Structures are given as structure tokens and as C-alpha cells.
Amino acid sequence: MGKSVQWRIVHSEASLGWGGQEHRVLAELRGFRSRGSWVALLAPPLSEIYKRCVAEGIAVRPLDTRKSRYLLNAWRLRTWLRANDVQIVNTHSSRDGYLVGAAARLARTPLCIRSRHIDVSYRNPRISRLAFSSLADHVMTTSGRITTHLKDTFRLPHDRISTVSTGVDTERFSPDGVAADLSIVPGSDDAPLVGMASVLRSWKGHADYLRAARILKDRGVLARYVIVGDGPQRANIIETISELDLREDVTMLGHREDVDELLRSLDVLVVPSTGHEGIPQIGLQALACGTAVVGTDAGGIPEIIQEGRTGRIAPTKDPRGLAAAIEATLTEPEKTQAYVKAGRELVLQGHSLAHMLDRVDQLYRRHLHGD
């Protein structure tokens, strides 16, 4: 890596929520600011990422994605991009991808990147291709599976798309440190603690996790279960807990900021997603903390939770398979510890925050400096 270049970078994010995608955007903003670049965010003022950037002193500009004002807002953004001599624009969601992408083209911004964090199907690929080709010089994804899907769907050349998984702060997320006090979780302190941590979305697999917990309870496997996070599926998850008669076994902890401490308190983290996943940050964070991980074969999960090497994998939408993987993790400690050690090394070698920033910086250099 050569001498650090001080870029002028703008990210856009239309989402109001706070999940892995928004974490990634903020991580890049923080990271490149710490390396001396000028960074800014375009986002709705009501969004969580907008509020967090304001609190951290990162430059922000309100983003209005209403279709009725599309042309006016695109022109205003074009003027703002040129006034701030922006070199790099990186869009992250569909609405801002079209609006900010168009504004960047009007402003003749040197490098336009379209990032993709989740694996989804496209109803009309001919229209969607616009955001990944005409409005972008390069596409950046968070997993190899997403990259392959986009290449196939939009016929993107190899040199127009890259995979750069989200990096983990390996100093914060490490086996050394304080574990969260979860004495509030009922049950025997001797019982292992199994957990999920994610936004409560339909495709995160909470129902399969709970059905696996029911299967394990019926088998007499002693364990306590927690669900960390908040989101639109909260009411449905509570109803499922009740239907499965797991009210005494499952504790919902809500949204937490002390994720590293929570991961250290868990014996097993479960990532039972049913689809859409890139490489889940919570999986990398758990591996970095030395927490055993069980995942499903959805999206990019197997890229980091590698069966028989860094963890155990179950088929998607298979509560029995998931239960078997959790039970093996708890009852085969020697194998589990070997997986934990390999998982930490995997993160250190290829998924650290510094590694991510270096990979993105290399992408900038290739397009703007020809390096």
C-alpha cells in the first residue's frame, strides 16, 4: 500500500433503519475520515445513520428521494457535488442509487460506485441494470455469492465488480474483554447460552431458531436462549415464542449497543437466515470474539461459517438440522474450540476493518490513479 491518498467521498443511503448495511456505510465514513479524507453522507434526516453521523461530526446533507421532485433534486445534488469537488460517490439503496447516481453523472463525478449488501431477485433486470451499469463505474458487493448473481443477472464484466466484505474492528471484537451481565436471563447459570442478534426481519430466520429451541428442549438438551435486536417482526416473534411454549426459555433483549460484550457472553451464536444475506457482520464479529457460530447455507454465510473449519452449517428452513448443529456445537467441545480458533484467524487474515479499508482504497486508486 502506497502513501495514503486523501479522497473526497460521499455515500448515500435512503434507508431509515439501522442494520448491517448502515453499519457498513458508517464504517467506511469513519475509516476514511480517520485516514485524512473528506467524507459526507446523503440521507433522510429521520434516518438513524443521519443522526449518528451528526452526533459524530461527519458532514451530512438531507436526501429527498420523492419521485415528484426527482429532476429538481437531481439537479440540486449535481450542483452540491460539483461545489464540494467530490471525487467518489457510493450509493447503497435503490432509491438513492438512481437519484444520486444520476446527479453524479450530471456532475461528472470521476468515480461512481454502486454497493450491494443483500442478495435479491430483480423483477425487471433491464431497468435495474441501469443502476449497476450506466449510473455506476463499478459495483461493490459484500459477498462472492452476490457478486456472482449480479454478474449473471446484468452481464457485468469481471473488472466492473468487486467483492469487499465488511471489516471487523478486531480490537473491540476480541476474546479479551468484558462479557455482558445476562443474569436477567432466567434458568440455570450452568445452562449454555444460545443467541441470535440481528434486526428482526422476516428473512433472518427467527421462527426456525425458535423451532430448533423447541426441538432441543424436547430432547432434554439444557440451554437458555436470547434474541437481541428490534424490528418489524417483533410481534410475530413474541407470538411464536408463545405458540411454542418457550416463554420460560427465550428472553428478548431488544436493541443493544454492547454487541461485543453480548457475544462474549454467548456459548453459541446462531445465524439462521433464510435468504438475502451477504456476509453477515454479526457472524464475523462472533468469530472475532471467539464465540462458536452455527449458520445456514443462505447467501454468503458459508463463506465465513465454513462447515468443519470455522463452524457448523445447517440447511435453510430446516429447524431439525439447525437443532442438530447447535447440539453438536454444545456437545463436541474439542471440535468447537478448533473451529473457534480457526474462525478468529479467518477474521484477522481477511476480514479486519483495516483490510476492508485497504481493499476499498485500492479500488479508488485503480479507477482514479491507474494504480
Spell out the residues 6+ positions from residue 201 whose beta carbon is closer than 8 angstroms to its own: 19, 231, 232, 233
pLDDT tens-digit map of 184-237? 898 878 899 999 999 999 999 999 999 999 999 999 999 999 999 999 999 999
Residue 2: the pLDDT is 52
Q: 8-167+352-368 domain in CATH 3.40.50.11540?
A: no
**270 pairs with which residues across the strands?**
294
Task: Convert the pLDDT of each residue in 248-282 to its tens digit.
Answer: 999 999 999 999 999 999 999 999 999 989 999 99
Model pLDDT, residue 345:
98
What does the pLDDT average to over 47-67?
Answer: 97
Tell me what pLDDT residue 56 has.
98
- pLDDT for the residue numbered 216: 98
Chain centroid to Cα 137, Å, comes to 23
Percent of the chain past pLDDT 70, that is, above it, reads 99
Q: How far apart, in whole angstroms, are the C-alpha atoms of residue 111 and residue 113?
A: 7
- Residue 26 pLDDT: 98
- pLDDT score, position 184: 86
C-alpha cell at 173: 471484537
Please compute the mean of the pLDDT values over residues 114-126 and round it to a whole number.
91
- Is residue 127 scored above 90 in pLDDT? no
Most distant CA pair in the chain: distance in Å? 66
Q: Calculate mean pLDDT across residues 291-306.
A: 97
- Which residues, at least 6 apart from 129, have a Cβ–Cβ distance to it below 8 Å? 153, 154
Q: What is the pLDDT, as a whole number, of residue 126? A: 87
Average pLDDT estimate for 78-107: 97
* pLDDT above 90: residue 12: yes
What's the mean pLDDT in 137-141? Answer: 98
Buried b (16+ CB within 10 A) or exposed e, 305-317: bbeeebbbbbebb
CATH 3.40.50.2000 spans which residues of the chain?
8-167+352-368, 193-350
The fold of the 193-350 domain, in CATH, is Rossmann fold (3.40.50)
Compute the distance between CA of residue 31 and CA of residue 169 in angstroms, rounded to an integer. Answer: 11
Would you place residue 183 in the very low, low, confident or very high pLDDT band (cuts 50, 70, 90)? confident
Give the chain's mean pLDDT. 96
Is 90 exceeded by the pLDDT of residue 354? yes
- For the record, the C-alpha cell of 143 comes out as 459477498
Supply the pLDDT for residue 3.
66
Model confidence pLDDT, tens digit, residues 300-335: 999 999 999 999 999 999 999 999 999 999 999 999
